[in-house]
Amino acid sequence: MTDSATTPGHTDDVLDIPFPDAFAFDPSPTWARLREEAPVVRARTLTGAQVWLVTRYDDVKLVLADPRFSRAAVVAAGAPQAGVSKPLPNTLPTTDPPEHTRLRKLVSGAFSHRRVEATRPWVRELCEELADDVVDGADLRQVFALPLPIQVICTLLGVRYADRERFRGWVEPAYSLEVSERPRVEAAMAGLLEYMGGLVAEKRRAGRSDDVLDELCATALTHDELVAFALNLLVAGHETSANQITSFVATLLRDRWHWERLAAEPGLVPGAVEELMRFTRLSDVGQLRIALEDVEVAGVVVRAGEGVMASIGSANRDPRAFPEPDELDLARTPNQHLALGVGPHFCLGAQLARIELQEALGVLLQRFPGLRPARPVDELVWRRVLVSGLAELPIVLE
Ligand code: HEM
């Protein structure tokens, strides 16, 4: 067996993640250096846990898809911790096959390509309605990017849209990356669990309708399992798309030529959404996995029990997989980006996200070809949270 301390690609430096320059449009230059010099390297998470950081496309793909890297082990007692908030057990992202396969089957019908594609006209209508609030001086995140996916996921799950202020008040702090905010993070997570617990109990009493939560109530999931599962769907189903809508618009406006090109050639939108997914990153380092046995990655042996973070953001900028990776090429093809993951944990909401992003951009480009940022986009503030994005995107209309 190789000794990791002397293996090529290994360095003894321990990097702190997320990097200090993580919250910005452009990826930290450290990613490119690591891909070249140390593709599997030691890193220290916010909580002080030492993990391996994997940066090249092929290696990231391996870690995401290979069952020897477990997500269930992340919630086991004594496991290294990546963030301040503790992941909930019994959710899709925190189970391994066969348990994961069993849980995923419960919702795969509701999120299937066919069922989700049928919602496209309704999503488009929502975009059109919300676009009426996109007025001069508005914050695009608040008036459009957040309400759209919240309304969509609430409707699909059977969560009251009117409760959005309430659960958003907890979602914001629950995924903070500030270790000093741990009590606030824990209180917010407790608030979310209590809220979802109440909703699930209410739905069980009310009997069946045709939303996803009702479908889940009819399964053998226990109350706690169902609450964790539903909470994950609610949060994963809006925080991601909301950040991406805002980041996509800002990225296109950052070099206005891209916005103008897409407005002139709307047929490019679906491909542009894929390229924007590759180009903008929701999280610098991704989700922690734990090796169940010794596994060699790029010549480094990751030992059983050790944590591994596979950086999707870095993989998506790897010149081994994408020519001119730092160029935004709206017509890029092929484009096998990893923004939605790969393997058994591939994003459940992938098609829903694609529809939201395509329709959101389509409507904004059509209605507001003259849209501009009210401030230079490079001066906008990024949120230091698990799933990152701009804190606001004030706009002006011409
Ligand atoms: C642009 C928007 C989105 C992006 C970039 C995104 C990205 C991802 C990625 C990278 C993963 C895999 C993580 C891993 O393997 O460690 C994932 C998983 C997941 N996503 Fe998304 N997502 C988006 C939108 C959504 C939406 C709208 C939903 C709605 C339900 C959703 C639900 C989920 C769930 C439940 C998982 C866990 C799947 C599993 O573990 O089997 N996501 N997402």
> In this predicted model, what pLDDT tens digit does every residue of 131-151 receive, in sequence order?
999 999 999 999 999 999 999
Q: For residue 179, what pLDDT is reported?
A: 87
pLDDT digits (tens, 9 = 90+) for 70-103: 999 999 998 998 888 889 999 999 999 999 999 9
Is there a domain that residue 29 lies in? yes
Ligand 1 pocket check for 244: Cβ under 6 Å: yes
Q: For residue 387, what pLDDT is reported?
A: 86
Q: For residue 344, what pLDDT is reported?
A: 97
Q: For residue 7, what pLDDT is reported?
A: 38
Q: Which uninterrupted H or E stretch holds 196?
A: helix 182-206
Average pLDDT taken over every residue of the chain:
94
**pLDDT above 90 (res 200):** yes
| CA-proximal residue: ligand 1, atom 1 (nearest) | 241
Distance 8 CA to ligand 1 centre (A): 33
Q: Could you identify the atom of ligand 1 that is nearest to the CA of residue 338?
A: 10
Beta strands 307-310 and 40-44 are: unpaired
Is there a domain that residue 3 lies in? no
Q: At what angle do helices 223-236 and 182-206 cross, to 10 degrees?
A: 110
Compute the distance between CA of residue 78 and CA of residue 64 in angstroms, rounded to an integer: 22
Q: For residue 216, what pLDDT is reported?
A: 93
Ramachandran region of residue 298, left (φ > 0), alpha (ψ -120 to 50) or beta?
left
CATH code of 224's domain = 1.10.630.10
| CA-proximal residue: ligand 1, atom 19 (nearest) | 347
320 Cβ contact list (under 8 Å, min separation 6): 35, 56, 57, 58
Compute the distance between CA of residue 226 and CA of residue 175 in angstroms, rounded to an integer: 20
Domain that includes residue 247, residue range: 15-396
Is there a domain that residue 4 lies in? no
Number of domains comprising the chain: 1
Is there a domain that residue 8 lies in? no
Q: Is 127 assigned a catalytic role?
A: no
Which of 4, 174, 217, 239 is an active site residue? 239
Which of 49, 65, 201, 347 is an active site residue? 347
Beta strands 288-291 and 307-310 are: antiparallel
**pLDDT above 90 (res 59):** yes
Which of 145, 236, 291, 360 is an active site residue? 236
Ligand 1 pocket check for 104: Cβ under 6 Å: yes
Q: Could you identify the atom of ligand 1 that is nearest to the CA of residue 357?
A: 1
**pLDDT above 50 (res 6):** no
pLDDT (average), residues 290-319 = 97
The three state secondary structure string of 65-96 is HCCCEECHHHHCCCCCCCCCCCCCCCCHHHCC
**CA nearest neighbour of 353 among 156, 94, 135, 102:** 156
pLDDT band for position 210 (cuts 50, 70, 90): confident
Q: Is 239 assigned a catalytic role?
A: yes
Is there a domain that residue 30 lies in? yes
pLDDT digits (tens, 9 = 90+) for 348-389: 999 999 999 999 999 999 999 999 999 999 999 999 888 889
Ligand 1 pocket check for 345: Cβ under 6 Å: yes
Q: For residue 12, what pLDDT is reported?
A: 53
Ligand 1 pocket check for 312: Cβ under 6 Å: yes
Is there a domain that residue 347 lies in? yes
Q: Is 154 assigned a catalytic role?
A: no
Q: Is 128 assigned a catalytic role?
A: no
End-to-end CA distance of the chain: 64
pLDDT digits (tens, 9 = 90+) for 217-241: 999 999 999 999 999 999 999 999 9
